[in-house]
Chains A and B, each alone.
Chain A
């Protein structure tokens, strides 16, 4: 599923994050998918996205530079495939 800056997203309730030097491991207890989140910034966005109305708000609040937003939207869209995050 493609998400946009206006999407309201959340980490799937069955997902756990484990911090690692490169970012974090995300594990979905439901579908057993293990996914690497390869940057600390994306980890923070995933962790906190549910407390913001839109993805745009989440990226702003986490201090992600606007020039990086397209790559974040792309990376987060791919995380919907494994259901690590979902639109709420």
Chain B
């Protein structure tokens, strides 16, 4: 079977997801300006420990090999270790994303003792000023301390996870050096205009010239750098494809379970329009994955729309559905970061007031000014 036919097969969906993200809580100690899930405060309807374990048992039966756990900050949950240990004991590997605030020496040792566990520490600058401008004051030091604790505990290879922005794109070499100095693996992903990111994307996303810089950097270093295949829209820049699957996996090989148990097509589209169902209904996650109207629709052949006549469509596949949706662009047209510049032209004509807002917002209330 040829590689192309495999991609076609994957577009039609798999019996269970390959890449399932599960955000355990909307609570977070940070308030990153580009947070995909507009996290901050816990939602009173978040899944209980028992409900979470029931979902994990279902994922075990579906042979989901690993899950990507995120949030919010997942370690905020008091049952964090109970949940990940339940997953691991059932043969579900855990990769979790954290800002590192709760990785003190003791927790680092506890994490180091677990098999089938990968950790991604989020870091968006190789210096405090660049990082903290996006992730909040003190968050650089917090991340470095967590990395030191993991190293000292003998955790082994963890990952440093970077969202590439206009302001840190010039630091890619330094990120790689930092990762190498810890024996860590570097992971870089694309900034999405989802959650609070919808409000900051216009100021933070890489310029078109910087996109070429990312593409060239990945061609030179891609073998040792993880990307979650998130830069496939850059493939339109040249003959050579970036490593990975060149397709939008939403609802096909990817999905998101949010802290409430709602299932969305991908981690970047927390919006009613992309909600496929809930794990709490009869039939659970399996029924949502296999039978929901939304996922069935996403697995049908998608129209190339306005991109049909573009010679680069095979390379970029029209880009990211979520990026189009939250910038108000039609889903069957160019990505807002279309390297040919077509998205940029369209963006100019979208009235800001008409762009969809994320359905949920768990941001903390603005801080009250203290009057002396």
Residues on A close to B: CB < 8 A? Answer: 16, 18-23, 25, 27, 29, 32, 34, 36, 38-39
Contacts and interface: CB of A to CB of B under 8 A. Distances in A.
Closest 10 CB pairs of A and B: A27-B65, A18-B63, A38-B1, A22-B9, A20-B14, A29-B116, A20-B15, A36-B6, A38-B6, A29-B93
A76 to B, nearest CB: 16
B245 to A, nearest CB: 10
Interface string B95-138: 00000000000000000000110100000000000000000000
Nearest to B92: A29
B150 to A, nearest CB: 17
B18 interface: yes
A25 B18 contact: yes
Contact of A22 (B6, B16, B63, B116): B6
Contacts of A38: 1, 6
A34 B116 CA distance: 14
A28 to B, nearest CB: 9
B1 A39 contact: yes
Interface of B: 1, 5-6, 9, 12, 14-16, 18, 63, 65-66, 91, 93, 115-116, 118
9 contacts: A16-B63, A18-B16, A22-B1, A29-B93, A32-B66, A32-B93, A34-B65, A36-B6, A39-B1
A18 B15 contact: yes
B261 to A, nearest CB: 23
A12 to B, nearest CB: 14
